[in-house]
């Protein structure tokens, strides 16, 4: 059960939405639309939104561009996390991670198991951090996006969430990059 501390202020974060697909366009990107609807409904800011083909260098380049942009706190992708030959989103994300957040994928699959049972083994949802930016990759169905947001990210990206949340850690994500003088 998630707990919100009403004594703390809500702190909106800036979230970039990345759809990974060889076939979707802005006209039919239902998963991206779902994610944008949910994050803005919950008070966060849409920093950017783009569709990138299933290609490791292209995905990694977009992640690096957003990591270098101080107006982007979090990147959430949808698509490309399955096991087919074109599904390369986890590999692209892991190529830029400084630290992997193992619990994200584990909890996502646990939540998914409640609905789709053993079919959840086909999900390779991942989370991590790099360059002071949180990076999360969700599967490409609107249902999976909704589960990932409503059950995990909505709470961890809310500064009021107790006993702890990812937002309160943001100021410390780049400690290792600062020179020790």
| Bridge partners (DSSP) listed for residue 137 | 77, 126
Instruction: Say whether pLDDT at 6 is over 70.
Output: yes
Assess contact for 89 and 80: CB atoms under 8 A.
Answer: yes
Q: Quick one: tokens of 165?
A: 């949340």
DSSP assignments along 151-175, one per residue: IIIHHHT-TTEES--SGGGGGGTTG
Q: How confident is the model at residue 80 (pLDDT cuts 50, 70, 90)?
A: very high
Q: How far apart are the first and last CA of the chain?
A: 43
3-state DSSP helix/strand/coil percent for the chain, to nearest 5?
45, 20, 35
Q: What is the pLDDT of residues 114-149, one digit of tens each?
A: 999 999 999 999 999 999 999 999 999 999 999 999
Q: How confident is the model at residue 177 (pLDDT cuts 50, 70, 90)?
A: confident
Q: Quick one: tokens of 9?
A: 């202020």
**pLDDT of res. 180:** 54
**pLDDT of res. 179:** 61
Q: What is the pLDDT of residues 37-77, one digit of tens each?
A: 999 999 999 999 999 999 999 999 999 999 999 999 999 99
**pLDDT of res. 70:** 97
Q: Quick one: tokens of 148?
A: 């990932």
**Helix (H/G/I), strand (E/B), else coil: 95:** helix
- On the 0-12 / 13-18 / 19+ scale of CB atoms within 10 A, 25 is exposed
Q: What is the pLDDT of residues 82-118, one digit of tens each?
A: 999 999 999 999 999 999 999 999 999 999 999 999 9
Q: What domains can you pick out in the chain, each with its CATH number?
A: 13-168 (3.40.980.10)
Share of the chain above pLDDT 70, in %: 98
Q: How confident is the model at residue 1 (pLDDT cuts 50, 70, 90)?
A: low
d(CA 29, CA 153): 20
- On the 0-12 / 13-18 / 19+ scale of CB atoms within 10 A, 19 is buried
DSSP state of 9: P
Q: How confident is the model at residue 176 (pLDDT cuts 50, 70, 90)?
A: confident
According to DSSP, the β-strands at 45-52 and 74-78 are unpaired
DSSP state of 3: E
What is the rounded average pLDDT for all residues in the chain? 96
Instruction: Say whether pLDDT at 150 is over 70.
Output: yes
């Amino acid at each position: 059960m998630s707990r919100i501390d009403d004594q703390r202020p809500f702190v909106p974060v800036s979230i970039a939405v990345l759809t990974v697909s060889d076939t979707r366009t802005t006209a039919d990107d239902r998963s991206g639309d779902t994610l944008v609807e949910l994050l803005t409904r919950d008070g966060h800011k849409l920093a950017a939104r783009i569709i990138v083909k299933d290609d490791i260098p292209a995905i990694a380049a977009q992640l690096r561009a957003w990591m270098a942009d101080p107006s982007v706190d979090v990147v959430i992708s949808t698509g490309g996390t399955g096991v087919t030959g074109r599904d390369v989103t986890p590999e692209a994300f892991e190529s830029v991670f400084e630290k992997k957040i193992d619990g994200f994928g584990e909890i996502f699959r646990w939540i998914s198991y409640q609905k789709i049972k053993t079919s959840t083994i086909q999900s390779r949802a991942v989370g991590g951090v790099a360059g002071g930016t949180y990076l999360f990759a969700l599967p490409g169905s609107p249902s999976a996006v909704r589960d990932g947001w409503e059950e995990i990210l909505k709470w961890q990206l809310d500064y009021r969430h107790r006993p702890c949340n990812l937002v309160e850690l943001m100021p410390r994500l780049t400690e290792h990059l600062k020179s020790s003088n």
